[in-house]
Amino acid sequence: MCTHKKIWLISGFVFLLAVQILAGEYQIVVNASFENQTITEKMLKNIFLGKQTKWGNGQRVLPVMLQEGEARNAFIKNIIKKTPIAFKNYWNTALFTGRGVPPVAFENEEDLIHYIQKNPGAIGFISEETSAENVKVLQIEP
């Protein structure tokens, strides 16, 4: 095999490995009273883009996120399918045109978890290694 093909093959493997690692950098958390155990990627994307504003039971969805960090960047890349800058621009445009309000952003995971604990319709994400006490962790379905 020629050197160029080996480099491309190794690069592709490293890329796939990085995607697998990024996918595990966050966990989806909701209020402990939430009925379901899973959520689809499409539903998550629609919630965080403001396209789904109510749960199946009619309760208002309250999306929250972190202001910065690896978990935030991985979530935006893997679920929203945008770069963090494109996500910010999406919400700036929506806010300016009156089409929506971006998810509430917290400086730290402790405050985000506390908000979710207190608000039944809330959904957010935290780092994989963070303890999700008194909230429910949802499994993501493709």
Predicted pLDDT of residue 3: 55
Predicted pLDDT of residue 116: 98
Provide the residue-wise pLDDT of the chain in tens; the chain has 142 residues.
Answer: 555 555 544 544 444 344 344 446 999 999 999 999 999 999 999 999 999 999 999 999 999 999 999 999 999 999 999 999 999 999 999 999 999 999 999 999 999 999 999 999 999 999 999 999 999 999 999 9
Predicted pLDDT of residue 79: 98
Collapsing DSSP to helix, strand or coil, 137 comes out as strand
- Longest Cα separation, the chain: 59
For residue 24, the tally of other CB atoms under 10 A from its CB is 11
Predicted pLDDT of residue 2: 57
Predicted pLDDT of residue 21: 42
Predicted pLDDT of residue 1: 58
For the chain, which domains are there?
26-141 (3.40.190.10)
CA distances to 16, 66, 98, 141 from 20, rounded to whole Å, are 6, 21, 37, 15
The whole-model pTM stands at 0.82
